[in-house]
Structure 1
Amino acid sequence: MSTHALHEKLDAIFQAHLQAELAGDLDETLATMSPDPHLVNVPTMVGGQGPEGVRQFYAKRLIGQFFPPDVVFETVSRTYGEQRLVDELIISFTHTIKMDHILPGVEPTGRRVEAVFVVIVGFEADKVAYEHIHWDQASVLVQLGLLDPKGLPVVGAGAAAKLRNPALPDPFFHEG
Protein backbone atom coordinates (compact mmCIF):
# COMPACT_ATOMS: atom_id res chain seq x y z
CA MET A 1 0.00 0.00 0.00
CA SER A 2 1.36 3.42 -0.89
CA THR A 3 2.05 5.96 1.84
CA HIS A 4 -0.75 8.19 0.54
CA ALA A 5 -3.22 5.28 0.52
CA LEU A 6 -2.22 4.33 4.09
CA HIS A 7 -2.76 7.91 5.27
CA GLU A 8 -6.18 8.04 3.61
CA LYS A 9 -7.14 4.71 5.17
CA LEU A 10 -6.11 5.76 8.70
CA ASP A 11 -7.85 9.12 8.23
CA ALA A 12 -11.09 7.40 7.18
CA ILE A 13 -11.04 4.94 10.11
CA PHE A 14 -10.39 7.69 12.65
CA GLN A 15 -12.92 10.06 11.06
CA ALA A 16 -15.65 7.41 11.33
CA HIS A 17 -14.73 6.91 14.99
CA LEU A 18 -14.71 10.64 15.73
CA GLN A 19 -18.03 11.21 13.94
CA ALA A 20 -19.66 8.44 15.99
CA GLU A 21 -18.32 10.05 19.19
CA LEU A 22 -19.56 13.50 18.16
CA ALA A 23 -22.97 12.06 17.25
CA GLY A 24 -23.21 10.48 20.70
CA ASP A 25 -23.79 7.03 19.19
CA LEU A 26 -22.33 4.58 21.71
CA ASP A 27 -22.85 1.42 19.65
CA GLU A 28 -21.43 2.97 16.47
CA THR A 29 -18.45 4.37 18.39
CA LEU A 30 -17.66 0.92 19.79
CA ALA A 31 -18.15 -0.66 16.35
CA THR A 32 -15.23 1.46 15.10
CA MET A 33 -12.94 -0.06 17.74
CA SER A 34 -10.89 -3.25 17.93
CA PRO A 35 -12.02 -6.21 20.10
CA ASP A 36 -9.75 -5.22 23.02
CA PRO A 37 -9.47 -1.41 22.95
CA HIS A 38 -8.25 1.02 25.56
CA LEU A 39 -8.46 4.75 26.05
CA VAL A 40 -6.46 6.94 28.44
CA ASN A 41 -6.94 10.64 29.10
CA VAL A 42 -3.48 11.05 30.58
CA PRO A 43 -3.85 14.21 32.75
CA THR A 44 -6.88 12.86 34.60
CA MET A 45 -6.20 9.09 34.34
CA VAL A 46 -9.77 8.74 33.05
CA GLY A 47 -10.46 6.12 30.39
CA GLY A 48 -11.23 2.44 29.95
CA GLN A 49 -9.57 -0.90 29.29
CA GLY A 50 -11.16 -3.69 27.27
CA PRO A 51 -14.58 -3.63 25.63
CA GLU A 52 -16.57 -3.22 28.85
CA GLY A 53 -14.23 -0.61 30.36
CA VAL A 54 -14.28 1.46 27.17
CA ARG A 55 -18.08 1.09 26.95
CA GLN A 56 -18.42 2.36 30.52
CA PHE A 57 -16.09 5.29 29.82
CA TYR A 58 -18.07 6.35 26.78
CA ALA A 59 -21.45 5.78 28.44
CA LYS A 60 -20.67 7.57 31.72
CA ARG A 61 -18.04 10.18 30.81
CA LEU A 62 -18.20 11.04 27.11
CA ILE A 63 -21.47 10.40 25.24
CA GLY A 64 -23.65 13.48 25.69
CA GLN A 65 -20.81 15.50 27.23
CA PHE A 66 -18.02 15.22 24.67
CA PHE A 67 -17.72 18.95 23.95
CA PRO A 68 -20.10 21.92 24.05
CA PRO A 69 -21.83 22.97 20.81
CA ASP A 70 -19.34 25.79 20.15
CA VAL A 71 -16.29 23.50 20.09
CA VAL A 72 -13.68 24.18 17.41
CA PHE A 73 -11.00 21.61 16.53
CA GLU A 74 -8.02 23.31 14.89
CA THR A 75 -5.47 20.86 13.49
CA VAL A 76 -1.88 22.00 13.92
CA SER A 77 -0.27 18.84 12.58
CA ARG A 78 -0.94 15.18 11.86
CA THR A 79 1.85 12.62 11.81
CA TYR A 80 1.46 9.07 10.52
CA GLY A 81 3.07 5.76 11.38
CA GLU A 82 2.15 2.37 9.96
CA GLN A 83 -0.26 1.57 12.81
CA ARG A 84 -0.92 4.99 14.36
CA LEU A 85 -1.53 8.64 13.82
CA VAL A 86 -0.69 11.55 16.06
CA ASP A 87 -2.78 14.72 16.00
CA GLU A 88 -1.63 18.00 17.47
CA LEU A 89 -4.73 20.15 17.96
CA ILE A 90 -5.96 23.34 19.50
CA ILE A 91 -9.41 22.72 20.92
CA SER A 92 -11.51 25.75 21.84
CA PHE A 93 -14.85 25.70 23.65
CA THR A 94 -16.98 27.42 26.24
CA HIS A 95 -17.33 25.28 29.36
CA THR A 96 -21.15 25.20 29.35
CA ILE A 97 -21.65 21.47 29.95
CA LYS A 98 -20.32 18.83 32.30
CA MET A 99 -17.20 17.27 30.73
CA ASP A 100 -16.16 14.36 32.94
CA HIS A 101 -13.59 13.08 30.44
CA ILE A 102 -11.52 16.28 30.76
CA LEU A 103 -12.79 17.87 33.98
CA PRO A 104 -14.14 15.09 36.21
CA GLY A 105 -16.33 16.47 38.98
CA VAL A 106 -16.10 20.09 37.74
CA GLU A 107 -19.40 21.84 37.12
CA PRO A 108 -19.68 24.11 34.06
CA THR A 109 -18.03 27.48 34.62
CA GLY A 110 -19.27 29.28 31.50
CA ARG A 111 -15.68 30.29 30.73
CA ARG A 112 -13.84 30.03 27.43
CA VAL A 113 -11.01 27.51 27.02
CA GLU A 114 -8.38 27.23 24.32
CA ALA A 115 -6.02 24.30 24.90
CA VAL A 116 -3.39 22.30 23.06
CA PHE A 117 -4.12 18.56 22.81
CA VAL A 118 -2.07 15.67 21.45
CA VAL A 119 -4.05 12.58 20.48
CA ILE A 120 -2.21 9.35 19.69
CA VAL A 121 -4.44 6.83 17.93
CA GLY A 122 -3.39 3.22 17.40
CA PHE A 123 -4.98 0.94 14.82
CA GLU A 124 -5.44 -2.80 14.58
CA ALA A 125 -7.19 -4.62 11.74
CA ASP A 126 -8.81 -1.44 10.35
CA LYS A 127 -10.21 -0.43 13.75
CA VAL A 128 -9.19 2.01 16.45
CA ALA A 129 -7.26 0.00 19.06
CA TYR A 130 -6.43 2.82 21.45
CA GLU A 131 -6.37 6.53 22.08
CA HIS A 132 -3.86 8.24 24.38
CA ILE A 133 -4.91 11.85 24.89
CA HIS A 134 -2.60 14.47 26.41
CA TRP A 135 -3.21 18.12 27.27
CA ASP A 136 -1.95 20.75 29.69
CA GLN A 137 -4.52 20.51 32.48
CA ALA A 138 -2.95 23.45 34.36
CA SER A 139 -3.60 25.77 31.38
CA VAL A 140 -7.20 24.56 31.23
CA LEU A 141 -7.72 25.09 34.97
CA VAL A 142 -6.23 28.62 34.78
CA GLN A 143 -8.70 29.55 32.03
CA LEU A 144 -11.61 28.19 34.07
CA GLY A 145 -10.57 30.26 37.09
CA LEU A 146 -9.85 27.13 39.12
CA LEU A 147 -6.07 27.60 39.39
CA ASP A 148 -4.31 30.87 40.22
CA PRO A 149 -1.29 31.15 37.90
CA LYS A 150 0.48 33.70 40.12
CA GLY A 151 3.97 32.43 40.86
CA LEU A 152 3.47 29.29 38.76
CA PRO A 153 4.95 28.48 35.34
CA VAL A 154 1.53 28.13 33.66
CA VAL A 155 0.05 30.32 30.96
CA GLY A 156 -3.61 29.54 30.31
CA ALA A 157 -4.65 30.28 26.71
CA GLY A 158 -1.16 31.60 26.04
CA ALA A 159 0.02 28.08 25.20
CA ALA A 160 -2.33 27.87 22.21
CA ALA A 161 -1.42 31.41 21.15
CA LYS A 162 2.30 30.53 21.23
CA LEU A 163 1.67 27.42 19.13
CA ARG A 164 -0.11 29.54 16.53
CA ASN A 165 2.59 32.21 16.64
CA PRO A 166 5.98 30.95 17.84
CA ALA A 167 7.32 34.53 17.67
CA LEU A 168 5.33 35.51 20.77
CA PRO A 169 7.64 36.42 23.65
CA ASP A 170 8.60 33.96 26.38
CA PRO A 171 6.39 35.00 29.32
CA PHE A 172 8.97 33.84 31.88
CA PHE A 173 12.17 35.30 30.40
CA HIS A 174 13.29 38.56 31.92
CA GLU A 175 16.52 40.20 30.76
CA GLY A 176 18.85 41.44 33.38
Structure 2
Amino acid sequence: MSKQAMLDTFKAHVDAELAGDLDTTMATMTGDPHLHNIPSMVGGVGPDGVRSFYKNYLVGKFFPPDVTMTGVSTTVGDTQIVDELVISFTHTTPIDWMLPNVAPTGKRVEVAFVVVVGFEEGKISHEHIYWDQATVLAQIGLLDPEGLPVVGAESARKVLNPMLPARAM
Protein backbone atom coordinates (compact mmCIF):
# COMPACT_ATOMS: atom_id res chain seq x y z
CA MET A 1 0.00 0.00 0.00
CA SER A 2 1.41 3.39 -0.90
CA LYS A 3 1.96 6.03 1.74
CA GLN A 4 -0.56 8.30 0.01
CA ALA A 5 -3.15 5.52 0.02
CA MET A 6 -2.63 5.05 3.78
CA LEU A 7 -3.07 8.79 4.35
CA ASP A 8 -6.21 8.84 2.18
CA THR A 9 -7.71 5.86 4.01
CA PHE A 10 -6.98 7.39 7.41
CA LYS A 11 -8.52 10.71 6.34
CA ALA A 12 -11.65 8.92 5.10
CA HIS A 13 -11.80 7.06 8.42
CA VAL A 14 -11.56 10.21 10.56
CA ASP A 15 -13.96 12.15 8.31
CA ALA A 16 -16.52 9.34 8.68
CA GLU A 17 -16.09 9.29 12.46
CA LEU A 18 -16.68 13.02 12.67
CA ALA A 19 -19.66 12.85 10.29
CA GLY A 20 -21.31 10.11 12.34
CA ASP A 21 -21.08 7.57 9.50
CA LEU A 22 -20.51 4.23 11.23
CA ASP A 23 -20.66 2.08 8.09
CA THR A 24 -18.04 4.14 6.25
CA THR A 25 -15.86 4.21 9.36
CA MET A 26 -15.95 0.42 9.59
CA ALA A 27 -15.43 0.01 5.82
CA THR A 28 -11.98 1.60 6.20
CA MET A 29 -10.96 -1.16 8.64
CA THR A 30 -9.83 -4.77 8.28
CA GLY A 31 -12.07 -7.69 9.20
CA ASP A 32 -10.39 -8.04 12.60
CA PRO A 33 -9.46 -4.55 13.86
CA HIS A 34 -8.83 -3.24 17.33
CA LEU A 35 -8.97 0.19 18.91
CA HIS A 36 -7.26 1.05 22.19
CA ASN A 37 -7.48 4.42 23.94
CA ILE A 38 -4.44 3.97 26.16
CA PRO A 39 -5.15 6.37 29.10
CA SER A 40 -8.80 5.44 29.56
CA MET A 41 -8.41 1.74 28.55
CA VAL A 42 -11.59 1.79 26.48
CA GLY A 43 -12.01 0.67 22.90
CA GLY A 44 -12.87 -2.52 21.10
CA VAL A 45 -11.44 -5.75 19.77
CA GLY A 46 -12.66 -7.50 16.65
CA PRO A 47 -15.27 -6.19 14.25
CA ASP A 48 -18.16 -6.48 16.72
CA GLY A 49 -16.22 -4.90 19.59
CA VAL A 50 -14.95 -2.01 17.47
CA ARG A 51 -18.36 -1.44 15.85
CA SER A 52 -20.07 -1.44 19.26
CA PHE A 53 -17.53 0.97 20.72
CA TYR A 54 -17.78 3.31 17.74
CA LYS A 55 -21.59 3.18 17.70
CA ASN A 56 -22.05 3.77 21.43
CA TYR A 57 -19.18 6.08 22.30
CA LEU A 58 -17.35 7.63 19.36
CA VAL A 59 -18.81 7.95 15.88
CA GLY A 60 -20.90 11.11 15.83
CA LYS A 61 -20.05 11.67 19.51
CA PHE A 62 -16.36 12.35 19.04
CA PHE A 63 -16.11 15.76 20.73
CA PRO A 64 -18.20 18.78 21.68
CA PRO A 65 -19.20 21.09 18.81
CA ASP A 66 -16.40 23.63 19.36
CA VAL A 67 -13.58 21.11 18.88
CA THR A 68 -10.53 22.13 16.91
CA MET A 69 -7.81 19.75 15.78
CA THR A 70 -4.43 21.19 14.93
CA GLY A 71 -2.02 18.89 13.15
CA VAL A 72 1.55 18.90 14.42
CA SER A 73 3.24 16.11 12.50
CA THR A 74 2.43 12.99 10.54
CA THR A 75 4.93 10.22 10.02
CA VAL A 76 4.11 7.56 7.44
CA GLY A 77 5.99 4.29 7.51
CA ASP A 78 5.56 1.12 5.51
CA THR A 79 2.71 -0.27 7.63
CA GLN A 80 1.57 2.54 9.91
CA ILE A 81 0.94 6.23 10.39
CA VAL A 82 1.85 8.16 13.52
CA ASP A 83 -0.21 11.33 13.74
CA GLU A 84 0.55 14.01 16.33
CA LEU A 85 -2.06 16.69 16.94
CA VAL A 86 -3.44 19.10 19.50
CA ILE A 87 -7.14 18.90 20.23
CA SER A 88 -8.96 21.78 21.92
CA PHE A 89 -12.57 21.83 23.09
CA THR A 90 -14.91 22.94 25.83
CA HIS A 91 -16.12 20.00 27.91
CA THR A 92 -19.84 20.66 27.36
CA THR A 93 -20.93 17.12 26.44
CA PRO A 94 -19.99 13.65 27.69
CA ILE A 95 -16.83 12.27 26.08
CA ASP A 96 -17.08 8.69 27.28
CA TRP A 97 -14.13 7.38 25.24
CA MET A 98 -11.84 9.95 26.85
CA LEU A 99 -13.48 10.71 30.19
CA PRO A 100 -15.69 7.73 31.05
CA ASN A 101 -18.24 8.47 33.77
CA VAL A 102 -17.23 12.15 33.97
CA ALA A 103 -20.08 14.62 33.58
CA PRO A 104 -19.44 17.73 31.45
CA THR A 105 -17.59 20.40 33.42
CA GLY A 106 -17.87 23.35 31.04
CA LYS A 107 -14.07 23.73 31.23
CA ARG A 108 -11.78 24.41 28.30
CA VAL A 109 -9.28 21.66 27.42
CA GLU A 110 -6.18 21.67 25.21
CA VAL A 111 -4.31 18.39 24.95
CA ALA A 112 -1.71 16.78 22.70
CA PHE A 113 -2.58 13.42 21.13
CA VAL A 114 -0.61 10.77 19.31
CA VAL A 115 -2.52 8.30 17.14
CA VAL A 116 -0.76 5.20 15.86
CA VAL A 117 -2.69 3.70 12.95
CA GLY A 118 -1.71 0.29 11.62
CA PHE A 119 -2.52 -1.00 8.14
CA GLU A 120 -2.94 -4.47 6.69
CA GLU A 121 -4.00 -5.27 3.13
CA GLY A 122 -5.03 -1.68 2.39
CA LYS A 123 -7.18 -1.10 5.47
CA ILE A 124 -6.77 0.08 9.06
CA SER A 125 -5.95 -2.83 11.36
CA HIS A 126 -5.69 -0.89 14.59
CA GLU A 127 -5.57 2.46 16.32
CA HIS A 128 -3.62 3.09 19.51
CA ILE A 129 -4.44 6.55 20.83
CA TYR A 130 -2.30 8.28 23.45
CA TRP A 131 -2.80 11.49 25.44
CA ASP A 132 -1.82 12.81 28.85
CA GLN A 133 -4.88 12.13 30.99
CA ALA A 134 -3.40 14.00 33.97
CA THR A 135 -3.26 17.25 31.99
CA VAL A 136 -6.92 16.74 30.95
CA LEU A 137 -8.02 16.02 34.52
CA ALA A 138 -6.13 19.09 35.77
CA GLN A 139 -7.84 21.30 33.19
CA ILE A 140 -11.35 20.11 34.09
CA GLY A 141 -10.72 20.46 37.82
CA LEU A 142 -10.58 16.78 38.80
CA LEU A 143 -6.86 16.73 39.63
CA ASP A 144 -4.97 19.34 41.61
CA PRO A 145 -1.57 19.63 39.91
CA GLU A 146 -0.07 21.48 42.91
CA GLY A 147 3.12 19.69 43.93
CA LEU A 148 2.80 17.12 41.15
CA PRO A 149 4.73 16.87 37.87
CA VAL A 150 1.50 17.71 36.02
CA VAL A 151 0.60 20.74 33.91
CA GLY A 152 -2.49 21.86 32.05
CA ALA A 153 -2.96 23.42 28.63
CA GLU A 154 0.64 24.66 28.65
CA SER A 155 1.77 21.22 27.60
CA ALA A 156 -0.28 21.28 24.39
CA ARG A 157 0.69 24.88 23.72
CA LYS A 158 4.39 23.94 23.94
CA VAL A 159 3.83 21.19 21.36
CA LEU A 160 2.44 23.84 19.01
CA ASN A 161 5.15 26.36 19.86
CA PRO A 162 8.43 24.74 20.99
CA MET A 163 9.88 28.21 21.70
CA LEU A 164 7.63 28.64 24.75
CA PRO A 165 9.59 28.35 28.00
CA ALA A 166 9.95 24.98 29.66
CA ARG A 167 8.54 24.41 33.12
CA ALA A 168 10.86 25.55 35.88
CA MET A 169 12.45 22.72 37.83
Q: How does 1:79-158 map to 2 (within 5 A)?
A: 79-158=75-154
- Partners of 1:63 and 1:156 lie apart in 2 by 27
Structure 1: runs of 5 or more not aligned: none
Q: SS at 1:54's partner residue?
A: helix
Establish whether residue 170 from structure 1 lines up as the match of residue 166 from structure 2: yes
How many residues get paired? Answer: 169
Contact persistence 1:153–1:172 (CA under 8 A): no
- Give the Å deviation of 1:143: 0.7
Equivalent residue in structure 2 for 1:9, among 5, 10, 14: 5
Q: Which residue does the alignment assign to 1:52?
A: 48
Residue 149 (structure 1) shift: 0.6
Q: 1:40 aligns with which of 36, 39, 54?
A: 36
What is the rounded CA distance, in whole Å, between the counterparts of 1:61 and 1:118 in structure 2? 19
TM-score, reference length from structure 2: 0.96
Question: Would the aligned equivalents of 2:138 and 2:144 in 1 still touch at CA under 8 Å?
Answer: yes
Q: Is 1:69–2:58 an aligned residue pair?
A: no
| Aligned AA (1:170) | A
Question: Counterpart of 1:139 in structure 2: which amino acid?
Answer: T
Decide whether the 8 Å contact of 2:70 with 2:87 is kept in 1.
yes
How much identity, in percent, do the aligned residues show? 60
Q: Distance in 1 between matches of 2:32 and 2:46?
A: 5
Report 1 or 2 for greater relative contact order, CA contacts < 8 Å, sequence distance ≥ 6: 2
- Measured against aligned partners, the alpha-carbon deviations of 1:98-118 in whole angstroms (never above 9, x if no partner) come to 111100011111111100000
Q: Contact between 2:86 and 2:160, CA under 8 Å: does it hold in 1?
A: no
Larger of the two Rg values belongs to structure: 1
Structure 2 residues not aligned, in runs of 5+? none
